[in-house]
Amino acid sequence: MEFEYDDSETATELVERTKAFMDEVVIPREREDFLGGGEMTDELIAELRAEAKERDLYAPQIPEEYGGLGLDFRDVLPMFEQAGRSLLGPPALRVDAPDEGNIHTIEMVGTDEQKEEWLVPLVDGEYTSAFSMTEPMQGGGSDPKMIKTTAEKDDDEWVINGHKWWTSQGDEADILLVMARTNQDAHPYEGCSFFLVPPETDGVEFPRDVPYLGDSWGISHPEVIYDDVRVPEENLLGPKDEGFGIAQRRLGPARLTHCMRFCGMAKRSINVAKSYVSEREAFGSDLSEKQSLRFTVARAETRLHAVRTQVRHAARQIAAGKEARIEVAMCKVFAANVVNEIIDDMLQLCGGNGMARDLPLSYFYEDVRGFRIFDGADEVHLRSIAREAFEDVDDEEMQTVTRF
C-alpha cells in the first residue's frame, strides 16, 4: 500500500530514484552476498557506495561543500525509509548510524579545521566514527545527568578519564566523539562537553566487544576506557559545558531518521509476508484468504501509516526551528513499538521460512529489538511525555472534577 503525503517534489523524486537503486542494486546484492550467512564486508559496501555516487544519491543530507547533495532535512527524510528496506541500504547511501548523526554534529558545531580533518573523510566513507556517551552501571545512560567521565584542563590540553560502553563501532572508528563532564559545579544538565578523540591516543583502551542481540551482522559495541587521555584544546567539539544541548540537537533529527529507516524495514517485512502467504497453501486455501492473517496485515499497514504521518509532523516542527522535543519523543516510542510488533507478526506469518536466513526477516527481527532501548528507552520518552501531559492539566476542568 502506498500513500500520498505532503512531501515536496524534490522529496518525491529522490524517493523514486532511491527505490530504483534499492530494487535494482542493493536488494539483489543482499540476496547474492548477504542473506543466507554472508557478511557485510567493506568491499561490498564500497561497491554499493560507488554506485550510489554514480546515481547522485550519496549523502543527500550533507552540505555540498563536504561531499553531500545539500538537500533539506524534510526532503531527505522519506528517502531514509527506502534505505531501511535492507541492512545494506543505509551504509550504501551514507545515511547510516552512528556516522550520520556524528557527521551532523561535527557539521553543526565543529570548527573549520575540525571539519576539514574529520568531516570530509567521514562523509566520503574513508573514515568511520563512534558516539561515546553511554556508561556502565551507575553511570550516564537513560539518565544522562549521571555521567561520570571527566575532562580536566591542564595547560593547553584536556585530560579525559572514564569508562564507556555501547560505543557503536568504537574499536574500528577513526574518531570518537566523547562526552565528559567539564564543570563539576554546574547544573546536572549542564557542565558536560564533547571532545574529538582519535582511538590511537595513549590511554584509550578497548577491554572487550559487548556481545549483543543482533551481532550477527557485524557492528561492534565495545567498552572503552579513557585513562588519562590527553587531547589538545582544539579537539573540544563545540562550546565548553554545552554538551547536553549539542546532544539534544543531534538526537532529535537522528531519532526521526531512525524511525524512517525502521519504517522501511517494517514495510519490506510486510511485503515479504504478503508474498509468502499469497503463495503458501494450507487447510484448503492460500493463507492470504484466512481472515486472521488478513487482519494482521491490515493492522500493520494502518499503524505504519500512522508512524509515517507522525514523523513528518515532527520534521515540520524541526524545520520551522522548533525543538519539538515531545513530538520527537512520541515518534520514537510509538515507532519503536510499532515496527517491533510488525516485524514480529510478519515473521510469524512466514512460519519456518521467517526464521530462516534465506529471508531478511530474521535479521530484521534481531536488529529492531534494540530500537526500544537505544536513542532513549521507551520509559525515558514516556516519562517526558507524561510530564508534559500533566503540566497541561486544565484548572477549570480540575475544579469540576473535584466537586464529585
What is the reported pLDDT for 187? 85
What is the reported pLDDT for 400? 61
Which class is 129-237 in CATH? mainly beta
The long-range contacts involving 22-31, CB below 8 angstroms and separated by at least 24 positions, are: 22/82, 22/83, 22/85, 22/86, 22/89, 25/51, 26/85, 26/86, 26/88, 26/89, 26/92, 27/85, 27/86, 29/88, 30/86, 30/87, 30/88, 30/360
What is the reported pLDDT for 267? 98
What is the reported pLDDT for 36? 85
Residue 7 contacts residue 15 (beta carbons within 8 Å): yes
Q: Which fold has domain 244-391?
A: Butyryl-CoA Dehydrogenase, subunit A; domain 3 (1.20.140)
d(CA 30, CA 277): 22
Residue 151 contacts residue 181 (beta carbons within 8 Å): yes
Predicted confidence (pLDDT) per residue in 267-285, tens digit: 999 999 999 999 999 898 8
Instruction: Give me the residue spans of the domains in the chain.
Output: 9-96, 129-237, 244-391
Q: Which residue has the higher pLDDT, 189 or 173?
A: 173
- Sign of the dihedral defined by the CA atoms of residues 114, 115, 121, 125, in that order: positive
CATH of domain 9-96: 1.10.540.10
pLDDT score of 249 more than 90: no
Predicted confidence (pLDDT) per residue in 15-58, tens digit: 999 999 999 999 999 999 999 888 889 999 999 999 999 999 99
Per-residue pLDDT, averaged over 220-228, amounts to 96
Question: What 3-state class would DSSP assign to 82?
Answer: helix
pLDDT score of 347 more than 90: yes
What is the reported pLDDT for 373? 95
What is the reported pLDDT for 404? 54
Per-residue pLDDT, averaged over 166-189, amounts to 93
Q: pTM of the entire structure?
A: 0.92
What is the reported pLDDT for 397? 62
**What's the mean pLDDT when you consider all of the chain?**
94
pLDDT score of 244 more than 60: yes
What is the reported pLDDT for 401? 59
